[in-house]
Structure 1
């Protein structure tokens, strides 16, 4: 890769007289740059050794600074041309289209010296000759600033902002060049527009939320720490499920709900309210689920049994999958903690999940980057939760929050099935003290 700055530096590097030979410049390039003619020599050859000098002195002085292999820029003076050839110059460049005598040409052939004739004067020839160097010499091959096709625009914006390049190369998964991306176009790229549904805390949003334009927030959770640059439509209702709010919005705008969407919304309400057993459930949620059941033609109780049975069949899943299946992150001041919830209608299955989860979290807890981690093993039928605690003060916080005795080996919270309405408020109230 090469930049305009690299080319400008090479062009203006007037102190390095050897750069033309170091770059392995072909005589063909020199001829094109100087609009010159090769009188003696092979234009396909390469200039590989020596300095570029200007013969501005008389021959007696020239003998002291012309060395074997040099390229000498000079005028039409016979004695200067002869001196350069005799001193072993690899090439002489005769300016102003001056005629080169047969004697000089013969001498050049005998000494393997190339002769080039250019219409430019000495100053112009000396100034332009560096432009004949091959671009390959200045190209950078290491420590390049490149991006890949799968990179996020939000991520590369930060890198672009620190560089002065106008364009950046894009590579595919095999690090092969695909094309270029303009710094100007990307930095002026319109922000992604988002509507946050069922969450409003920064820790629960997608990566790069700070670069997005949030249009609306539709939620039923507590109001978190998210900030916006301008006012947005924020609809937050104390209901058991955000799907109930979505159903209301369909009704308010007079839009018919397709059967498949009605089924999804009904399933969400049943799941979030644990089939209306959760304390977060309201009559509004239950009525919405019943209306959606009529639209999609699916019976609620039968569907709920199948859904919870399928959702709690975690026997084939790894502990990491089980833990991350329904995981939420919370912040209270400087304390950050996570809560994972696993619902099941089967006590035996919950015990099997516990036997997988406990050793897994004991191994990975330090790498989670939080002060505490909790796992809710919720039995939907018995309407109770066994709470697994990880972290130095996690058990103490839970015991104080629910006023439990200090010698409990297992923490069983009867009647607690809701993370949002029952567990989180109790934990937060203690952590804020």
Structure 2
């Protein structure tokens, strides 16, 4: 099922969070997309937290980026090979599944190496000698499996091949000259005397070809000597060929300096690494270092982008990181249209209302969807927050009418609920300077100027005095780090309809000219100014462009 993320802006306010939740509910109720999931782009404010708790709503999950990652791609869920797997079995599986390569795991299911068809082919071209099984620490089970052999007698202490490989077609004297302790003997004829000589040399394993069997007396001698015996239907020639395939894949695989990707890696990083390497496919590991598959260049090219719906914003600077890589399906907003462009067409709904949730409430009505009690409470909180309890100049008749309808559905008194919400949300006690400024902060590009404007609704402006010096220092640093000409902080008292403005940066005259005030120690009172969108941003824009 396709996920569609419904997201408000960075430094989310109550409208941003509640709009994401309420619109997601509407989309899911109408089955418009696969599954709409509300997300947030930052920590919620105390005001928003109060609203969520009041109406038993969960805080949306945090979305840090929508840049394409490996986890978003349709990578191959391939068969994973154990390091003990024989070359014969590995080659058979790779042919059956049309694999060019496969990850090899250690005993803890972590990536140990990468086996490719090239590794196997190059392995056969190498000058492998009689010690290949010993050097590869080949398990006895691998030999039995590869030769389709039957066990006649197996010494329980024989776990891996520890000696050299011989094909007997020689007399006893030659055996004495060439065979050593722990060696492996392939024999294809009635060589009883030769076998007895091998027992004296303390070989580990005798392989009988052409389905030969030992006399009972000779077999008893083998058991007494602790020499294992197996028999195979293969000819001596085929046995000598096939036994090399008993080597475990660990011996021929590529290991060390492996190029692999995490499910959390971005597609940009994949493309960069792939442009510098020439492998057909690459192992993919999850955040627990467990191998989950492989990925190829083709899958990177054909990967789907994350799907987004933006609410309460449309500016790129206020959107989630990587928004340029996402597929934007819709925008529902009540702000100006700024630096906004998309790759394809979309549904864009913007109305000159005081709150995004007002628009969403209208959409519920238009689509005939009943508004649940808790969703009504969330949208009510958003409208009261954005319109400052209907006192903001951005508040329209429609906002108030819909808010009162929502209050009735939610079973609350709008005025009482609003005052309780502001009281819970505007307390500055226990908050850091950074938390205060970023509670509701937005950056604006106005002409050639960059301006950061934060607004904090509080009923205790006087209580901010001890924090003023530290706040101005923080704002100055903000200007330097972000290249702002001016940083502004508005402390707004919604009940008394007034704001105290604090200004930092190299161009304080933007604010002085905008409101015809004189800043005293970086501060001025702005009676009647309570809306950043309708009063502050337009005034500063005119002052900058004048």
Range into which the TM-score falls when normalised by the shorter chain: 0.7 to 0.9
Q: Does 1:312 align with 2:426?
A: yes
How many residue pairs get matched? 398
Unpaired runs of at least 5, structure 2? 1-79, 82-100, 103-113, 211-233
* Corresponding position of 2:284: 168
- CA gap 1:380/1:91 in 2 versus in 1, 3 angstroms: same
1:11 corresponds to which of 116, 120, 131: 120
* Corresponding position of 1:282: 396
Q: Does 1:374 align with 2:498?
A: no
- CA gap 1:248/1:77 in 2 versus in 1, 3 angstroms: closer
Aligned residues: CA RMSD: 4.2
Unpaired runs of at least 5, structure 1? 49-68
Q: Distance in 2 between matches of 1:303 and 1:40?
A: 86
* Corresponding position of 1:180: 292
* Corresponding position of 1:250: 364
Q: Distance in 1 between matches of 2:173 and 2:517?
A: 107
CA contact (8 A) 2:313 2:335 kept: yes
Helix, strand or coil at the partner of 2:340: coil
* Corresponding position of 2:508: 395
- CA gap 1:237/1:255 in 2 versus in 1, 3 angstroms: same
Most deviating of 228-237 and 108-117:
108-117
* Corresponding position of 1:106: 196
Q: Distance in 2 between matches of 1:432 and 1:19?
A: 81
CA contact (8 A) 1:84 1:92 kept: no
Q: Does 1:87 align with 2:178?
A: yes
CA positional deviation for 1:251 = 3.6
CA contact (8 A) 2:259 2:282 kept: no
Most deviating of 341-350 and 396-405:
396-405
Most deviating of 235-244 and 205-214:
205-214
Q: Does 1:262 align with 2:347?
A: no
Q: Does 1:33 align with 2:146?
A: yes
Q: Distance in 2 between matches of 1:394 and 1:117?
A: 94
Helix, strand or coil at the partner of 2:523: coil
CA positional deviation for 1:36 = 4.8
- CA gap 1:7/1:266 in 2 versus in 1, 3 angstroms: closer
Q: Distance in 2 between matches of 1:40 and 1:78?
A: 24
1:156-176 CA deviation, whole Å, 9 max, x = no partner? Answer: 6566775854873445xxx37
2:497 corresponds to which of 383, 400, 410: 383
For CA contacts below 8 A with separation 6 or more, give which structure has more relative contact order: 2
Q: Distance in 2 between matches of 1:16 and 1:415?
A: 90
Highest Rg: 1 or 2? 1
CA positional deviation for 1:227 = 2.6
- CA gap 1:387/1:32 in 2 versus in 1, 3 angstroms: same
CA contact (8 A) 1:385 1:412 kept: yes
Most deviating of 121-130 and 238-247:
121-130
1:424 corresponds to which of 519, 532, 537: 537
TM-score where L is the length of structure 1:
0.73
Q: Distance in 2 between matches of 1:136 and 1:213?
A: 43
TM-score where L is the length of structure 2:
0.60
Helix, strand or coil at the partner of 1:224: coil
Helix, strand or coil at the partner of 2:401: helix
Map 1:105-184 onto structure 2 (within 5 A). Answer: 105-113=195-203, 114-119=205-210, 120=234, 124-125=238-239, 127-135=241-249, 138=253, 145=260, 147=262, 162=274, 164-165=280-281, 168-171=284-287, 175=288, 177=290, 180=292
Helix, strand or coil at the partner of 1:340: strand
